């Protein structure tokens, strides 16, 4: 993984101004679509640079948080995301509306159309042949121009995040969201993550083509919290170029697998719904029969939105669900997908589930909850992370700030190959 120079604030302002200069925003209402706090990126710097570039041109510049199915953000949390001092909110940014996407409120959604079964069959490589409705946040269509602002990282469902993914599932309804998450799970995370034009990405871009409003994107390449590249253009083009950067910045390859991996989750992952990223990015380098420990003493719950369903279903390998599809087909497919992503690769034969590795939670989630959802528990107070560091030669890997950098083997095993 090479290291690149950070782009200065003045360079960002200049780049944003130049990028937006060729587009006519006169009298237009513009909506910025940005990630929540679970993505590392200088969103505040971008927000302020765009406001400056559109000053005196656009009649309105508002912000929508692309939550997907994540919980809504408070006014204070949005201010923090945008690097706004709350006391200055009304005085300096009072004209900017903050909008939280609500994926599960039908009144806030509008249908754009349907991707027919014949196309789904082609896009999914023959895995599915069903009609999929495409819905989006109704408020987004009240604007004259959409500007996506967000980073690009390896992603367990789509391959690389960013671009049109901030529309679907960022501000979309549940139908498409549930479908393509399960499509990615059926293909399996190791065969999706870190790949560019996956079947899931193709479904997303097909849906994005239905959006009637002009859309452009600022796709960010971020390394160690520093902005090192800024790409602007139509979403798929900007995303593609940024994904090439991400493949260089966010993928570390190891020669041999490790029997023990400790993934230290950053505090921005405050529930397993997002903390599972520690598993997704590290599963490829855990040896068969090995253990991945998600170390997150701050993490207290499975999911504020989906927790009850996950606790009822549990975490299982993909084949557990496929072998009993009549039992699970009416559950939210996005939750089934999350379940398989966290549990990882494995088999289900003759009623016996055999995960490839052990997944252990060293968190503040109670032991009985961990057992209930089919994961192993360890008291985080019993783990001295420092004692495991610098022991790669012994087959032990410690990863600080896990969840955004993908670890792979130089020679991937068969189960991880596309």
Q: What is the band of 1 on the pLDDT scale with cuts at 50, 70, 90?
A: low
- Tens digits of residue pLDDT in 80-95: 999 999 888 888 888 9
Q: What is the CA radius of gyration of the chain?
A: 21
The DSSP output letter for 73 is: P
For residue 186, the model assigns a pLDDT of: 97
**Measured between alpha carbons, how far is 309 from 292 in angstroms, rounded to an integer?**
24
Task: Summarize the confidence of residues 60-77 as an average pLDDT.
Answer: 95
**Cβ-based burial of 155 (10 A; exposed 0-12, middle 13-18, buried ≥19):** buried
For residue 86, the model assigns a pLDDT of: 86
For residue 4, the model assigns a pLDDT of: 84
- Tens digits of residue pLDDT in 402-415: 999 999 999 999 89
Q: Is the pLDDT of residue 7 over 60?
A: yes
Q: Where are the domains of the chain?
A: 9-249, 253-416
Task: Summarize the confidence of residues 32-60 as an average pLDDT.
Answer: 96
Nearest to 315 by CA among 284, 282, 281, 346: 346
Task: Summarize the confidence of residues 64-68 as an average pLDDT.
Answer: 96
- Tens digits of residue pLDDT in 113-158: 999 999 999 999 999 999 999 999 999 999 999 999 999 999 999 9
For residue 88, the model assigns a pLDDT of: 82
Q: Which CATH superfamily is domain 9-249 in?
A: LarA, N-terminal domain (3.40.50.11440)
Q: What's the token pair of residue 390?
A: 């610098």
Q: What's the token pair of residue 32?
A: 């910025």
Q: What is the CATH architecture of 253-416?
A: Alpha-Beta Complex (3.90)
For residue 2, the model assigns a pLDDT of: 59
**Measured between alpha carbons, how far is 38 from 153 in angstroms, rounded to an integer?**
12
92 Cβ neighbours under 8 A, 6+ residues apart: 84
For residue 208, the model assigns a pLDDT of: 98
CA neighbours closer than 13 Å in the CB half-sphere of residue 115: 27
**Measured between alpha carbons, how far is 371 from 377 in angstroms, rounded to an integer?**
7
Residue with tokens 């994107």: 217
Task: Summarize the confidence of residues 377-395 as an average pLDDT.
Answer: 97
Task: Summarize the confidence of residues 345-363 as an average pLDDT.
Answer: 98
Taking a C-beta distance cutoff of 8 angstroms, is the pair 134, 110 a contact? Answer: no
Q: What's the token pair of residue 258?
A: 């490790």
Residue with tokens 């479908």: 179
């Amino acid at each position: 993984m090479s290291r690149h120079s950070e782009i200065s604030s003045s360079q960002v302002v200049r780049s944003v101004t130049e990028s937006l200069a060729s587009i006519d925003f006169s009298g237009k209402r513009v909506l910025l679509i940005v990630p929540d706090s679970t993505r590392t990126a200088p969103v505040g710097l971008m927000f302020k640079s765009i406001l400056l570039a559109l000053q005196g041109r656009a009649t309105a510049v508002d912000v929508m948080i692309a939550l997907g199915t994540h919980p809504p953000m408070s006014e204070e949390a949005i201010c923090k995301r945008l690097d706004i001092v709350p006391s200055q909110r009304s005085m300096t940014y009072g004209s900017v509306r903050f909008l939280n996407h609500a994926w599960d409120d039908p009144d806030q959604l509008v249908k754009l159309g349907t991707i027919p079964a014949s196309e789904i069959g082609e896009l999914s490589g023959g895995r599915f042949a069903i009609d999929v409705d495409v819905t989006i946040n109704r408020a987004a269509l009240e604007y004259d121009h959409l500007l996506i602002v967000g980073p690009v990282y390896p992603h367990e469902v789509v391959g690389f995040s960013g671009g049109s993914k901030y529309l679907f599932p960022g501000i979309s309804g549940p139908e498409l969201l549930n479908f393509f998450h399960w499509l990615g799970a059926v293909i399996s995370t190791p065969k999706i993550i870190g790949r560019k034009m996956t079947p899931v990405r193709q479904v997303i871009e097909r849906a994005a083509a239905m959006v009637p409003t002009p859309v452009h994107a600022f796709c960010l390449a971020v390394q160690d919290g520093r902005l090192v590249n800024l790409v602007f253009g139509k979403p798929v083009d900007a995303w593609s170029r940024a994904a090439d950067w991400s493949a260089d910045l966010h993928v570390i390859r190891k020669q041999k697998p490790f029997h023990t991996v400790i993934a230290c989750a950053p505090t921005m992952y405050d529930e397993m719904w997002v903390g599972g990223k520690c598993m997704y990015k590290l599963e490829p380098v855990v040896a068969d029969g090995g253990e991945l420990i998600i170390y997150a003493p701050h993490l207290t719950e499975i999911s504020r939105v989906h927790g009850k369903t996950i606790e009822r279903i549990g975490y299982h390998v993909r084949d557990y669900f496929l072998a009993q599809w009549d039992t699970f087909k009416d559950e939210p497919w996005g939750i089934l997908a999350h379940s398989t992503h966290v549990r990882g690769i494995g088999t289900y034969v003759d009623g016996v589930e055999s995960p490839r590795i052990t997944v252990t939670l060293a968190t503040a989630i109670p032991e009985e909850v961990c057992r209930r959802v089919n994961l192993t528990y360890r008291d985080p107070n019993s783990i001295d992370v420092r004692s495991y560091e610098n022991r790669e030669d012994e087959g032990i890997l410690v990863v600080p700030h896990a969840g955004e950098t993908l670890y792979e083997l130089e020679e991937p095993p068969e189960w991880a190959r596309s």
